[in-house]
Amino acid sequence: MKTEKIITWAIIGAAAYIFFGEKLIQFSAKFKVGTPRLRIKTLRPTGVDVELVLPVINNSNTPIQIDDLDVQIYYSNEQIASTKLNRPVSIKAGDTTPIYLNLFIPYAGLSVSVVNLIQTGQFETNVLADGTITSAGVTIPFTQTITLI
């Protein structure tokens, strides 16, 4: 009797994994984050206000809603800022919609990078946007390079 229950639950679990795993693969293949852009908005005494523009691409036949979006920005392998979506965003079917996120980059967070620039004489021309995007309970990680120059 116990063995039958275990086998039954194993079959149900395997079927659910196959069904939902396939749906996740289909969803993530049609849904992605394009190349982000950074735009300097304001220089402050303590840091820089920046607008991060993330183009979200929906190649499916149905509209989707972005429920959550978390992004960390890295420069020279150091996290210099992070931001989060503050309201849901709808993406039309077969469309690309830019999501605008504000973030603040403190000068203090760049201190190690500035020391490295002085020591090596080399300026890092890319920053990395690393994060997750969630729609309908499905979370998809993304990593994109943003070219500064």
What does pTM read for this prediction?
0.71
* Distance (Å, whole) CA 114 – CA 2: 64
* pLDDT of res. 95: 93
pLDDT bin (cut points 50, 70, 90) of residue 148 is confident
CA–CA gap between residue 12 and residue 10 (Å, rounded): 5
pLDDT recorded at residue 96: 93
- 71-93 average pLDDT score: 89
Cα–Cα distance, 136 to 6 (Å, whole number): 30
Is residue 36 predicted with pLDDT exceeding 70? Answer: yes
pLDDT surpasses 80 at 124: no
Most confident of the following: 12-21, 24-33, 94-103? 94-103
DSSP 57: E
